[in-house]
Structure 1
Amino acid sequence: MMTITPALVKALKVLGLSEYQAKVYAALVLLDQAQAKEVIELLGISKPSVYESLDSLDDLGLAVRISAKPAVFQAISPEIAVKILMDTHTRAGTSALTELQALQQQTFSGRRSGRLWAMYGKENLDYKIDEMLREAKESVFAVISDRYLDLFKQIAGRGLQVWLVVISEDPEIEEELHTLFCGDHEEVLVTSPMVLMIPLTTDPDLAEMTDEFRFSNQLDLIVDDAEALSVPPIETDLLTGLDSQNRTVVLLAKNRNMMIWQMLQQMVKEELSTGDDRDESMSPLSD
């Protein structure tokens, strides 16, 4: 006979069952239908725990009592059971999020705009970037590594004012971006890490640290001139960003990005004015 694995019990607990409920439900699936004493013999747990779990599984709709005397229980199909548990999870998550957001507004009302929020890990940062871009109403100003590009594709063609600097060494990315960001208010520049290193190497202290720069992590994002998210271009084991709605922080971030934008545009103009072939390390995608 197959055994009930710890992995199964753990998964059912994540979906909201207690350990005893998980084991008893699994036992009913294994036995097809059973009296309490059969479940007790199979699992080796106390009689009160089994009876309590059977009653609660019945209440949850995960098991049905098919006979009263003696009491015989049968598990509903695993497909339906998992759907019930996942639907319950989803409703609980929605309710919890609503309540937590209400608490957050009460706690930080009038003060949140002055705070800097640290965010850790690629998954959390990707979620935040996606949220900011989905909620953008007027403008997006960003300097990003191409590792984030898939998240930014959603803003193309939405009528937003877009200024986007993409750091990439992929020679095919220019054509893709030219096709994607073709709106009247969408401007894109593609550059390489090498170009962004040029102003850094003029500072002796920074020049000694060039090995620690990782432009593949770089992200500076300003949305609607109201919120800024920044991930520094440094080597790190855990991707880390700073998010703020502080007006001063947002304007400083925008000014920093504007300086990069203007530097790249000036380099393009100087290159074109010489009549030389365009350097593949930097390509403008707007007229």
Structure 2
Amino acid sequence: MTGDESAAIDAFERLGLTSYEAKVFIALHRLSSGTARDVASVTDVPRSQVYSVAESLEDRGLLEIQQSNPIRYRPVSIEEAQATLEARFERERERAFEYVDTVKQESATEETQEDIWTVRSRDRVDDRVVDLLSQAEETIVFGTRLPSFVTESIERRLEERAAAGVSVLAISRTESVRARLGTLEGVETAVPPAHRDSDERSGRIVIVDGDSLLLSVVADDGSETAIWSSDSLFASVLIQLIQASDELQPVAD
């Protein structure tokens, strides 16, 4: 086997053919057509293997089988073979990268970064809020202006932590939200300062035990994105800044 032929076989393998398939395909182009015996005589592919290899090449659209005695094989033209392999490569490329794109989109909803985490999509923010509330041992501040951001799971968790002795404060400028949360046993409600009444992008705020924080915003399409941090310098500093700005100093109903 020459160096050029070896390189060609390697190239066919990278295109998805096996070594035997590449050798049989090349041999048949050298012969124009031939039997399994003919192919075996010009390659190192055993005659017993030529039959199955030829069937595989036929399935790939790279040769034709003449039902004679003995069976003869004829390769498709180089142009047709090239078009067939290019189409196959394109299909596999699309399949591979469609999957990668799907994984990428899925991972876009995952939490990222180390001390500051990002969560995208309403359901995942819901889950993160419930998880943070579950960890509360001393205090909880939960706030939102949107009734849809108060789920049954959040309500249950607020009531459970209040029953466990945790101080729970729910703040909202929206009367219906305060009324709803005010029915929960052990949960106090209040109105936050009015200096941000025009804010239509705020989503939720959660502060747990003074060291865990979640803040979310709402995009024009209604989607929610949150950042959260726990037991970190970032969370500690931001909580202090929020408290210092009177954002969490409630106004009595």
Task: Flag the structure with more relative contact order, 1 or 2, with Cα contacts below 8 A and sequence separation at least 6.
Answer: 1
TM-score normalised by length of structure 2? 0.42
TM-score normalised by length of structure 1? 0.37
Structure number with greater Rg is 2
